[in-house]
Chains A and B, each alone.
Chain A
Amino acid sequence: MFLSRTLLKRHSVLPGFDLALGFTLLYLGFIVLIPLSAAFLKTATMTWPAFVEAVSSPRVMASYRLTFGASALAALLNAFFGLIVAWVLVRYEFPFKRLVDALVDLPFALPTAVAGIALTALYAQNGWIGQMLPFKVSYTPIGVFVALTFIGLPFVVRTLQPVLEDLNHEVEEAAATLGANRWQTFTKVIFPVLTPALITGFALAFARALGEYGSVIFIAGNMPMVSEITPLLIITKLEQYDYQGATAIAVVMLVAAFSLLLAINGLQAWTRAKQGR
């Protein structure tokens, strides 16, 4: 209360700040912090060498590389193609546009296991797509990447759409009248405005991919050192009733994911500040 009164309240023109802040903290505490702190408490019962052993064995390290690597690549791909999809959906009129728009949300709504089974069937070597490809997708790390791309797409598209809709046509027209070609208009005028939203979309897709289990597990093949994702290792530890080992890995993932998201948020704030918005 002291904090709010002295530092923050004078900036606020709206009434009810104390109540709203209190509610926010309480809500976040119950929904996010308490469950997560349980993981930290459980891990705290481990000795340090046991913790290090649990979170840094070669097999676990290989799973970090796969999970973080495939998630980042999938989010990058989605950032690129998601931008195109969002652009088309906002800027052009075409038949069945609403249907296509609704399709984007499908990866949100589909149970992840269903997505995993469907993708595995498509990309298996006797599947529709799989038999046309010269390399294996299902049961390899590429399969993991495919599944993570699928589930991440809506995050990028849905964060970019409102920003694109808000974009003023006049700014582009002004750029054109001032002699900018189309490429310059895009790179110098449109893209900088989109960057913060694009970064947010990337961060959301990335974070979602890190924790994904249901769809990946069917397509990955789950080979140790090759295609085991970190969430699977957490599950295998639980299978042997090793709660501590499982939470130890979870804590590492949590800290890593949180630092990355914090860094991405920082980057986003920086790009915003650079544009003076």
Chain B
Amino acid sequence: MSTVNRRVTLLAMAAVAVASPFAASAQAAGKTLLNVSYDVSREFYKDYNAAFAAYWKKTTGEVLTLNQSHGGSSKQARSVVEGLEADVITMNQANDIDILAERGGLVPADWAKRLPDNSAPTTSVSVILVRKGNPKNIRDWGDLGRPGVSVIIPNPKTSGNGRYTYLAAWGAALKNGVAPAAVKALVERIFANVPVLDGGGRGATTTFAQRNMGDALVTFECEVPLIQREFGGDFEVIYPAWTVLAENPVSVVDKVVDKHGTRVQAEAYLKYLWSDEGQEIAAKQHIRPRSAKVLAKYAKDFPKVNAFTVDEMFGGWKKAQKEHFDDGGFYDQIIVRTKK
């Protein structure tokens, strides 16, 4: 899927590149912003860009061209590090923005402190999707580790969705009072029940919904409506007692906006994500808004959950990545043992 997406993105970018000189001349030299984002935020930013462009035109009179590029999040971050001139970067994991500070100093190290809520205007949570009627009676993470249960999880090595799933199960076990020494064994039992490690979240969805594999699929809450729409309502969502809060951080890419002279526009673009309009667009896409007001308005779509952040439970993404997901980390130890 990602290759196809990339091709489509490239085509779109090529089309934009060809079209933009004409667009620019027609619309009195407006500036252009490129938003480089992760794979499944496409629909959200499509709507948001239209809303922001209208807002910006109304308040300043300037016509902005907003381009978006989507793909696997680490892949996108690497492109920016290697020279893709993104004015803003919008990710679903803080370490994919940290890398811009570490390599080439494209953003300052304290980028997350520049905007409210850790610079994350929206969130989602990892939930469990089961087949209708919940025949295996799956209620919580622990049930996924039972013998005879099969669960589809995207590969934590290549997918942010997979990493959040793993951290959700790990953190929930700690929150539920499992002794730290026993947590690893518990997560290991869950991954021993994984028959396929798809490259990304959408691939795992296909495996679960279309290939009919597995009793459960772990994915983001915001993906559930799409799955229900595409594959019918043959699934039920299970909210575990504890889960992880997936924060979607955003940042201006300082080196690029200073070069393009687009800092004002880029900062406004990100700030508007916290506006009522921006938060509502997110809520409509089943992405959890930060605003209490908007959250209350859409309360039926967002059941109350107990969620911990990666920062409070694992001491930040950098530490979690190093301890759990880098080569030889806990995840490798677990997965190699379950498959030997």
Interface check A64, CB cutoff 8 A: no
Interface size on A, residues (CB 8 A): 35
Tell me which of A127, A225, A240 contacts B339 (CB under 8 A).
A225
Interface check A114, CB cutoff 8 A: yes
Tell me which of B3, B203, B213 contacts A112 (CB under 8 A).
B3
CA A65 to CA B340, docked complex, whole Å: 15
Cβ contact within 8 Å between A138 and B211: yes
Interface check B321, CB cutoff 8 A: yes
Cβ contact within 8 Å between B2 and A113: yes
Interface check B297, CB cutoff 8 A: no
15 pairs, CB–CB < 8 Å, chain A vs chain B: A112-B3, A113-B2, A121-B211, A124-B211, A125-B212, A125-B213, A138-B211, A139-B195, A214-B3, A218-B1, A222-B199, A223-B197, A224-B332, A225-B336, A238-B78
Query: What distance in Å separates the Cβ of A248 from its nearest Cβ neighbour in chain B?
Result: 12
* Chain A residues closer than 8 Å to B213, beta-carbon distance: 124-125, 139
Cβ contact within 8 Å between A113 and B211: no
A139-B195, A224-B335 known; A111 and B74 CB under 8 Å?
A: no
Query: What distance in Å separates the Cβ of A155 from its nearest Cβ neighbour in chain B?
Result: 20
Residue of A nearest to B72 (CB): A239
Interface check B55, CB cutoff 8 A: no
CA A138 to CA B212, docked complex, whole Å: 13
Interface check B44, CB cutoff 8 A: no
Using an 8 Å CB-CB cutoff, how does the interface string of B188-202 with A read, 1 for contact, 0 for none? 000000011111000
Interface check B216, CB cutoff 8 A: no
Query: What distance in Å separates the Cβ of A250 from its nearest Cβ neighbour in chain B?
Result: 15
User: Interface residue tally of chain B, by bracket?
Assistant: 20 to 34
Interface check B7, CB cutoff 8 A: yes
A residues at B contact (CB < 8 Å): 57-59, 111-114, 117, 120-121, 124-127, 138-139, 214, 217-218, 221-226, 232, 235-242, 245
Interface check B47, CB cutoff 8 A: no
B residues at A contact (CB < 8 Å): 1-4, 7, 74-75, 78, 99, 103, 155, 157-158, 195-199, 203, 206, 210-213, 321, 325-327, 332, 335-336, 339-340
Cβ contact within 8 Å between B158 and A113: no
Cβ contact within 8 Å between A242 and B327: yes
Query: What distance in Å separates the Cβ of A260 from its nearest Cβ neighbour in chain B?
Result: 26
Tell me which of A114, A222, A236, A240 contacts B4 (CB under 8 A).
A114
Query: What distance in Å separates the Cβ of B295 from its nearest Cβ neighbour in chain A?
Result: 32
Cβ contact within 8 Å between B3 and A126: no
* Chain A residues closer than 8 Å to B211, beta-carbon distance: 120-121, 124-127, 138
Residue of B nearest to A126 (CB): B212
* Chain B residues closer than 8 Å to A240, beta-carbon distance: 74, 157, 321, 325-327
CA A113 to CA B203, docked complex, whole Å: 11
Which 6 interchain pairs have the tightest Cβ spacing? A236-B157, A113-B3, A124-B211, A222-B197, A221-B196, A239-B74
Cβ contact within 8 Å between B196 and A236: no
Cβ contact within 8 Å between A235 and B99: no
* Chain A residues closer than 8 Å to B197, beta-carbon distance: 221-223
Query: What distance in Å separates the Cβ of B195 from its nearest Cβ neighbour in chain A?
Result: 6
* Chain A residues closer than 8 Å to B74, beta-carbon distance: 238-241
Residue of B nearest to A241 (CB): B99
Report which residue of B74, B75, B211, B332 has the largest number of chain A beta carbons within 10 angstroms of its beta carbon.
Answer: B211
